[in-house]
């Protein structure tokens, strides 16, 4: 069963046809200390993040023809995101 084409003036509900690709990376520091045997405390700090994404959207124009729109984005962020975690090792 294939996908039906939209007619002029129709609206699609749900996920629109197309695709999205995204990749990212995060960098930071982490320090871990053993409290007792098999139990540790970790303090981590994310500081830098970067991402690249691209997408393709398929839509229908006023005449009823499908058209494809490509888009891309990239970003670099500086943020301090601390976290504290208790780790149990077995």
Task: Return the higher-pLDDT residue of 81 and 58.
Answer: 81
Task: Count CB atoms within 10 A of the CB of residue 66.
Answer: 11
| Cα radius of gyration rounded to whole Å, the chain | 23
| Banded model confidence at residue 2, pLDDT cuts 50, 70, 90 | low
d(C-alpha 51, C-alpha 74), whole Å: 6
**Residue carrying structure tokens 């609206």:** 11
Instruction: Give me the residue spans of the domains in the chain.
Output: 18-88
CA contacts within 13 A on the Cβ side of 24: 13
What pLDDT is attached to residue 7? 66
Predicted local distance difference test score (pLDDT) of residue 1:
46
Closest CA relative to residue 71, chosen from 51, 61, 60, 57 = 57
């Amino acid at each position: 069963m294939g996908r039906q084409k939209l007619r002029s003036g129709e609206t699609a509900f749900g996920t629109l046809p197309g695709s999205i690709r995204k990749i990212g990376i995060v960098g930071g520091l982490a320090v871990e200390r053993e409290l007792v045997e098999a139990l540790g405390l970790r303090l981590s700090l994310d500081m830098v993040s970067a991402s690249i994404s691209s997408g393709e959207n398929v839509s229908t124009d006023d005449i009823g023809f499908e058209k494809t729109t490509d888009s891309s984005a990239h970003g670099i962020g500086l943020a301090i995101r601390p976290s504290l975690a208790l780790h149990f090792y077995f």
